[in-house]
Amino acid sequence: MTGTAYQRLENRFRRLGALRDAEALLHWDLATMMPAGGAEARGDQLAVLTSLRHGILTAAETEELLETAEEAAKAADGLDPWQAANLREMRHTWAHATALTGEQVEALSRTASACEAAWRDARADDDFAAVLPKLETVLALVRETAAAKAEKLGISPYDALLDEYEPGGRSREIDRVFADLEAFLPGLLAEVSERQASDPPVREPEGPFPVERQRDLAVRLMQVLGFDFHHGRLDVSLHPFCGGTPDDVRITTRYDEADFTSALMGVLHETGHALYERGLPAAWRGQPVGDARGMALHESQSLLIEMQVCRSRGFLGFAAPIMRTMLGGDGPAWDTDNLYRLYTRIRPGFIRVDADEVTYPAHVILRYSLEKAMIAGDLEAADLPAAWNEGMGRLLGLTPPNDRLGCLQDIHWYDGAWGYFPTYTLGAMTAAQLFAAALNADPAIETGIASGDFTGLMTWLADNVHSRGSLLTTRELLVAATGRPLDAEIFKTHLKRRYLA
């Protein structure tokens, strides 16, 4: 094979990207269309693809090419900024891969696939005991993975898991931020609850709302936001998500015919993810530098669209007549003011994905503390339901009546995704900071949103976030876009302005 070491690495990572994209679409199919009987075969398919990727990454030639390319990059006529960043991200990916053997990677993939399939039935049946043995096996393998990566990377086991989702993320910083939020939020929640209790009751739009009408409404508003159905689709799954690839983005949601509000905001949330994926630099498709810049930034894009924009009074003023028409609504429950109060109502609940802005961080703080304890060996999987219920009582004053509304509600741990949860609240904070910077740069963005014109906002996001891929670190990107690193005070100011002003 000819070409420089760097060029040969690009070719190698292009192949790795294609394998990863195939995995992504198999995961989407598993969650949406695959018959239950296909679970074992699908687990085999995913394990083989995962093993193939791992084998390419850990081959001796890959390390040799990295070392040669890094040495050449030091020359005066070395790599341009995008290539240099790509090489940095290649090294990061390689470091994670080489911490594990092929057998470890394949075992975790197979076990997680089997556990996820069991979780689907266990959640539906509210039967934690049915999935517990598989969860225990997943946890054991994740602990083994965390220990191996910690030794390789020179960081703690939990941070080694976190680093895969949020490169450079460290629990000591998250601990500080979350402690600040945990101290701030109870007082805010009490004050907002007292204020909203003194207001006239929010009117609930009366259903039923047929699924097909809800889907049509979701598609209409996705198009307003700029979702490209030539490069994506909307489907149904047990747990809403955005998957697929930048050129074939797959969004899913779940519907409730008695309540359209949750599914709609879920779709708009996932559309934020999809717009980010579609906006990643096309010239760097299949290369690490062309990927999204970590999950905190990814979550910021979904939460910016859902929380900052689509729950705003301006957007709901635009959307209210569309909702009325497409869902056949009538009466004061469909007025803009009532819909705004409905979508900004603070009400502690059991389900994270349905939580309001003020209580959502508590859901994340709970999961973060539990997964840290489980990775450290301080909490066993069998004790998870009791620990979950205790934490819900402490943080939100609620005790789940069953595990379906408790520790069975999220797919992440059962699917082998540990170290992911803190990125949700880091994303909410980042979303507030990016949106404030966008409005400061172009005040007309707010007027455009109120008229259904997202051109200004999407142009700013494309220029400052989407098109940059992983060229910059998360901190560097945030400083470049907003003038400062992540600042929790901006998020707290947003909450006070929206709910107390």
Q: How many helices (H) and strands (E) does the chain have?
A: 20, 3
Q: What is the pLDDT of residue 76?
A: 66
Residue 26 lies in a domain: yes
Give the count of alpha carbons within 13 A of 176, CB side only. 7
Q: What is the pLDDT of residue 248?
A: 97
- DSSP label of 293: S
Amino acid at 375: I
Residue 416 lies in a domain: no
Domain boundaries, position 103 = 5-125
CA 491 to chain centre: 18
d(CA 157, CA 152): 10
d(CA 53, CA 105): 10
d(CA 496, CA 358): 10
Active-site hit among 116, 270, 306, 357:
270
Q: What is the pLDDT of residue 430?
A: 98
Please state the domain count of the chain: 1
**What DSSP string runs through 238-288?**
SS--EEEETTEEEEEE---TT-SHHHHHHHHHHHHHHHHHHHS-GGGTTSG
Q: What is the pLDDT of residue 1?
A: 54
d(CA 7, CA 11): 6
Residue corresponding to tokens 């976030």: 465
Q: What is the pLDDT of residue 284?
A: 98
Residue 18 lies in a domain: yes
Is position 212 annotated as part of the catalytic site?
no
Residue 45 lies in a domain: yes
Residue 386 lies in a domain: no
Residue 140 lies in a domain: no
Q: What is the pLDDT of residue 238?
A: 85
d(CA 434, CA 431): 5
Residue 469 lies in a domain: no
pTM: 0.94
6 within 8 A of 72, measured Cβ to Cβ: yes
Give me the tens of pLDDT residue by residue for the chain, a chain 501 residues long. Answer: 568 999 999 999 999 999 999 999 999 999 999 998 999 999 999 999 999 999 999 999 999 999 999 999 988 678 999 999 999 999 999 999 999 999 999 999 999 999 999 999 999 999 999 999 999 999 999 999 999 999 999 999 999 999 999 999 999 999 999 999 999 999 999 999 999 999 999 999 999 999 999 999 999 999 999 999 999 999 999 888 999 999 999 999 999 999 999 999 999 999 999 999 999 999 999 999 999 999 999 999 999 999 999 999 999 999 999 999 999 999 999 999 999 999 999 999 999 988 999 999 999 999 999 999 999 999 999 999 999 999 999 999 999 999 999 999 999 999 999 999 999 999 999 999 999 999 999 999 999 999 999 999 999 999 999 999 999 999 999 999 999 999 999 999 999 999 998
Residue 256 lies in a domain: no
d(CA 348, CA 340): 18
Q: What is the pLDDT of residue 332?
A: 96
Residue corresponding to tokens 């906002």: 457
